[in-house]
Amino acid sequence: METHDINAVVSDNKIREFSALNLAYIGDTVYDLYVRTHIVKKQMGKVQALHKLASGVVNAKAQAAAATLVLPQLSEREREIFGYGKNTKSRPPKNMSFQDYSMATAIEAVIGYLYLTGQTARMDELMGIVIAHFLKGK
The active-site residue, picked from 5, 28, 32, 124, is 28
Taking a C-beta distance cutoff of 8 angstroms, is the pair 128, 107 a contact? no
Cα 9 from chain centroid? 18
Rounded to an integer, what distance in angstroms lies between the CA atom of residue 93 and that of residue 51? 21
User: Is 32 one of the catalytic residues?
Assistant: no
- Catalytic residues, by residue number, are 28
